């Protein structure tokens, strides 16, 4: 049985099995990029429908966006050094959506993030920000902005916060162990610009190497 976890529009799919299916030609396109968030894996090669789309994807790197037709795709991930296939999955990609496909680990598989389109930032001169938790050993966390207080509580693994809106400025965020004042990670000097949507991707090990990091990236807005 296929497992599917849906958390705040954040879809996590372990190694899944679907009937064979090929993407169909359609006007409806998806925008998708890859993020190597697996701290237990080094450089990877990624194939889609047996064709290489990323010949070398280092840990912590985000690919450029790509256009895909709507359909079901076979995604395969190989260790670059040994050519060993470590992940394989078929997943549905819907047209008119923007995705970040996160490679989370040799055992955990993939996490498919649907990036929300945010009309509010265009109307009210605001910026939008969503936190995504991809660190496998990070405990539940509360997220604070140093001047504004708590933004989100008890964020768990392979999950995302609701979208937060800010006036354009520089902000200082803190990750704290849930229910405590113990700071696990400082994220200072995050410059949020008007009419932009951002993701903060939390990855790495809370206890080990590579260490816990926050990657601030722009989210594509149609």
Phi and psi of 71, rounded to 5°?
Answer: 160, -175
- What pLDDT score was predicted for residue 7? 31
DSSP 117: P
Q: Where in the chain is the domain with CATH 2.60.40.2890?
A: 120-219
Instruction: Give one word for 134, left, alpha or beta, with left for phi > 0 and alpha for psi -120 to 50.
Output: alpha
Instruction: Give one word for 107, left, alpha or beta, with left for phi > 0 and alpha for psi -120 to 50.
Output: alpha
Phi and psi of 123, rounded to 5°?
Answer: -85, -40
Instruction: Give one word for 83, left, alpha or beta, with left for phi > 0 and alpha for psi -120 to 50.
Output: left
Contact 30, 93 (CB under 8 A): yes
- What pLDDT score was predicted for residue 27? 65
Residues of the chain with pLDDT under 50: 1-23, 26
CATH architecture of the domain with range 5-114: Sandwich (2.60)
Asked if the 120-219 domain carries CATH number 3.40.50.10860, the reply is: no
- What pLDDT score was predicted for residue 22? 44
């Amino acid at each position: 049985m296929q497992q599917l976890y849906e958390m705040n529009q954040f879809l996590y799919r372990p190694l899944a099995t679907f009937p064979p299916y090929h993407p169909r030609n359609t006007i409806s396109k998806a925008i998708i990029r890859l993020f190597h968030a697996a701290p237990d894996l080094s450089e990877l090669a990624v194939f889609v429908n047996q064709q290489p789309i990323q010949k070398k994807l280092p840990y912590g790197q985000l690919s450029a966006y790509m256009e895909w037709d709507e359909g079901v795709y076979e995604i395969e991930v190989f260790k670059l050094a040994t050519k060993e296939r470590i992940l394989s999955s078929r997943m549905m990609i819907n047209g008119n959506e923007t995705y970040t496909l996160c490679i989370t680990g040799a055992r955990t598989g993939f996490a498919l993030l649907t990036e929300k389109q945010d009309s509010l930032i265009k109307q009210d001169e605001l910026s939008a920000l969503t936190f995504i938790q991809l660190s496998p050993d990070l405990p539940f966390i509360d997220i604070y902005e140093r001047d504004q207080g708590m933004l989100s509580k008890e964020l768990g693994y392979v999950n995302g916060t609701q979208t937060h809106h800010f006036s354009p400025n520089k902000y200082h965020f803190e990750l704290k162990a849930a229910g405590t004042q113990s700071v696990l990670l400082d994220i200072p000097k995050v410059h949020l610009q008007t009419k932009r949507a951002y993701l903060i991707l939390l990855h790495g090990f809370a206890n080990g190497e590579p260490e816990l990091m926050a990657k601030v990236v722009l989210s594509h807005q149609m």
